Structure 1
Amino acid sequence: MPTLALSSPLELLDELKRKVRALQRLQFQVLEIIGSLDQQGAAESLGYKDLVEVFKHTLRWDPKVSRRRIKQAQALCPTVTPTGSAIAPALPGVAAAMAEGELSEDHVEVLAEAMAALPSVAEEHVVEYARQHEPRSAKAFCKELAYRLDQDGQEPKDPAPAPQKNVLRRQWRGGRYLLSADLDAETGAKLDALIDPLAKPEPHDQRCAPEREGDALCEVIDLALRADSSRIHGGERVQLTITVDYDKLRENIGTALLDNGEHLPMAQVRKMACDAGIIPTLLGSRSQIHDVGRKTRTINAGLRRVLVARDKGCAFPGCTRPPKHCEAHHIRFWSEGGKTNADNLVLLCRRHHDLMHHSEWQIQLTEGLPTFRPPAFIDPHRRPRTNPIHAA
């Protein structure tokens, strides 16, 4: 076509439509690749929990974007059974229209949600409508179609009887642990008080509420297990860890750093020190080594304080989890002769601790700070990375 500046509005619109159709065909090809990765169990073979974590490191997608595209791939791509039999996609009509470049990702999201409540014969009609209208209008059409097919709606259910006893059901299924609880109001309120603070979304947190609450429950369990040891935030009484430059404390200038990354004015720190038990931790430019040797892999309270003062939270690049949600990881595994000292330990949250044990990520201390090298499929040069979020 002629230069854009010399093109007429109609010529520009025609070219824009061609580009958009080509882009939507390309988006479908992306979903096909995602579907194949999902089918092959690629995340597990790379040492990752799921594809969301893989895409976070390889494509820099937010978890919300990854989950959306994985869900769309599962609806639009055929699958293969363990015996080798091919199974058609759940939404073949939607898949065909997107492959032609007629539907966008927003269309697919609307139609997939709508078809969950519609009979399969309705797919042809909703796809035909979506080919001619924007996603918002297609959503309204699907809603109206569902209403016309079932104007009476579902019959109201009888109210459930009030629970009389606390009931907990536990079951292992397919490598997962399923929980179902029916608790009294008092116990439920206590559980909410434990989970709610841990389930608050972090900045740029794309997890949905049930996922955040599930992770929070896991953290409550981890905290309960640590309560039987002498670790900080465990067997000892609740403590506040403050990292402060001694000269600034003496001169009452500047600020001190809390273990959650917040800063306190020095005057407030001096006031707190008047009525506090002081446990000094001396840090040089590379941190003093605190060594408990090879006899045990358990991290004592003093050593954990050193790690909290140095790492200030999960040391994995980009992670924002504070120290109380972290575990101490042996850089050289204890089972392979690694020592239990600050030069061989790093704070990691539960998710990244698992990742270090099951993937090709590597850790080393560089000038006293944890440095991470990603797998080659993320960065062929395996350039070192640190976590500047917790930097003092």
Structure 2
Amino acid sequence: MSSSLAPLLEAVALVQDSWADADGGADLSRAQLIAVNNALGVLRRTTDAVHAEVAAGLARESRRELGPDSLARQQGFRSSAQLIATTTGTSTGDAARLVKLGEATARRTNLLGEVLPAKFPVVRDAMCRGRIAAAAADAIVTFLDRVLLRVGRSVAAEAEELLVEKAAGLSLDEVRKLIARTEAHLDPDGVAPREDELRARTSLSMFQRDGMLHLNGAFAPDKAAPLLAAVHGYVSAEFAAKRDGRDPAAADADRRPLGQIQADALVHLAEHDLSCESTGPLNGATVVVRVDLEDLEHGTGYGLIDGTDQPVSIGTIRRMAADGGVIPWVCGADSEVLDWGRTRRLFTPAQRLALAERDGGCAFCGLPPQMTKAHHIRWWARDTGPTDLTNGILLCETCHHLIHDNAWDIHIDGIGTRAKVWFLPPPHIDPKRTPRPGGRARTELIA
């Protein structure tokens, strides 16, 4: 246990140091708020590591075969999970997941009493050092357990190292996206069965209450793709209209929240389908499916749909192609110019497709391509930047202003659609200006 306590004590000291000059949260400066928040993040992650190890010990001392000597029963609980849930104020399900994580990352002993390495030592080490939280570690461990028999221990060990390395600094949603792409890469034959499970859960319920219609839906990736593209396109068009033709300070300015605009988008789609008279802008909305031509021809591998996290099978892609038609696009072919230099100011549709292939959407926050614009890294007017892929990047409006207003720098490593995007924070955010990965490289397995 001492190996886990040392980082925990260091994290506590870090919180104390960052809080030392302030008397309560209300008195913290901006720099102190960031410092305390970062320190609390480290503290929470290291606490998770210790708690997972303790949970594994509680489960070991509360196993059923101990009968009345079970530690949980002696304390008045049915199981170790109930004991943990009661003492920490969490749910029994969360406590059970913590126990499972502790058992997967704790050191083991064989029948001779010899100490063995943890089942997932890389995850354990990252948790003990405060690099990943319990929720991310649990998602990784659950995934590795699921694919271990199919891919073998050596491949699973490589996946463990890669996932832990990339998961540090990602949100839980981004870790789940990373895991989904990794699973499709390691086990492409398993994509179709997982799709069948998702289709079986597809549903839409409707009921009226308090004078309003309530919708609750769940859609498989191929069914969600056109819905997402249309709604995002409508929302993007509304935001563009706000920017281009409306005064945000005016009394009649549209200040509706995103949820209301998305509701209007769904109504618009229904009205258009019923009458074909109520037309409105969808800001070029379309469904973009990404797949290797060789995989499509041979029926192997998998593909990705812009705006959805779950990879889809080749069979699904072929059905979508049959329904909507396929436009072949070869990045960099002689028939299409992708680098225009200073001869054009605006990025072409082909260039946007190439940038979407590289960035996957907003390269900074991950919004889908339909909600982004192609921007010059070195400005066209001020810096005489060319309209080339190496000088282009997809950003949503919010991130575009955030980057320029706060003096972030952008670096493109490599050329073409497999280039990697890096964001360099300004010195007042990070004095070392440590590059942060952007684009698809954050959550996907790309070269």
| TM-score by shorter chain over 0.5 | no
Structure that is richer in helix per residue: 2
TM-score using structure 1 length: 0.43
TM-score using structure 2 length: 0.38
